[in-house]
Structure 1
Amino acid sequence: MNGREPMSFEQNHQRSTRELEAGFTLIELLIVMSVMLILMTLAVPQMLKLTKTAHETSAIQSVRTIVQAQLQYNSLYPANGFSCSLAQLGGDPKSGAPSAQSAQLIAPDLASGNKAGYTFALTNCNKVTVNNQDMYTSYEVTAVPNSVGKTGDRGFCSDENNRITYDPAGGTNCTQPIQ
């Protein structure tokens, strides 16, 4: 019919045996899987270290962004001084023009206080009352890892003097200057 003769059982068995011999053995597959596991055990810790480094770099940049936004806020709303709330520095541009309560100077994710594995806050706000209005004269920005050792190792701080320092323990006791 198709020009081929039907194969005998013996010929079919020999063909199947040759096909099996051409494939991988169980030992070969186990060796390949073992090599892959060894490579993964070397790569995963390095990947976690790179992720922590990226989160810390993002946190430092976010602290700088907040400090710059504070300087702009102080310039735009001198009667208020600095802001003591990340929400005041943030705000949705769709909600209208910027105001002292919604200055739209930082991105919404940063204004929420959480970004890239870090929690940000404005603390130690000192205020004075001038003409029956509170004016903040100083502040401190803090950035602490959500999970010390996983999302970051160091905590970061800055204030109105724009000097960023860090806490090697991941908290807010920032004493070491950023190089």
Structure 2
Amino acid sequence: MTRTNLLLRRNRRPQPNGFTLMELLIVMAIIAILMLIAIPTMGNMKRYANETSAMQSIRAINMAESQFENTYPAQGYSCTLQALGGDPHSGPPSATSAQMLQQDLSTGIKSGYQFAIGNCTKNSANGSDRVTGYTITAQPLTVGQTGNRTFCSDQFGSIKFDPTGGTNCTQNLGQ
């Protein structure tokens, strides 16, 4: 090696290890921008998942109602979610605790939605009432946060919805 090369090597500053403040600020800005994009998308995904769960829960309630009517023909359909549910450890199934519906759904609240059975149509024959029709509603607990739409169904099984989250389910669900 020549003398000038040795001098150049000796006078050269060592490269600093790590990042400069400017590089760290740029990385933090990029992460902040990605978070601003991701957070609203996550909220939309949560609402969509809740709505999908509500539709599947309505289908499950319709299936339980059909099974209830076949098992207890004298009563017809059930007018309460509690009658469709019930604890399997509490004894054999009955018309007031049929054990045909999951316990979380039979409480009436699941995945940000409130479920109810109403508008029960009763026919009286031989001194007893037989339920021949019903309406299921699944309404978001907080419209715009837990879900955007209300879903409804009846004994015929078709699901309709109200896009505003109210209870006026008139639009057919594109199945």
TM-score with structure 1 setting the length: 0.87
CA RMSD of aligned residues (A): 1.4
Query: Which of 109, 113, 132 pairs up with 2:108?
Result: 113
Query: Which of 30, 46, 50 pairs up with 1:51?
Result: 46
The CA deviation string for residues 129-152 of structure 1, in whole angstroms up to 9 with x for no partner, is: 323322211110000111111111
Question: C-alpha displacement at 1:18, in angstroms?
Answer: 5.4
Matching residue's letter, 1:62: S
In the alignment, which residue of structure 2 is the partner of 1:153?
148
* Runs of 4+ more than 6 Å apart: none
In the alignment, which residue of structure 2 is the partner of 1:171?
166
Query: Does residue 1:33 correspond to 2:28, yes or no?
Result: yes
Matching residue's letter, 1:95: S
Query: Does residue 1:77 correspond to 2:53, yes or no?
Result: no
For residues 167 and 18 of structure 1, do their structure 2 counterparts lie closer, same or farther at Cα, with a shift above 3 Å needed?
A: same
Structure 2 Cα separation of the partners of residues 63 and 116 of structure 1: 12
SS at match of 2:169: coil
Query: Which of 118, 121, 126 pairs up with 1:123?
Result: 118
Matching residue's letter, 2:29: S
For residues 98 and 25 of structure 1, do their structure 2 counterparts lie closer, same or farther at Cα, with a shift above 3 Å needed?
A: same
Q: How many residues align?
A: 162
Q: In percent, how many aligned pairs have the same letter?
A: 52
Unaligned segments of structure 1, at least 5 residues = 1-16
SS at match of 1:22: coil
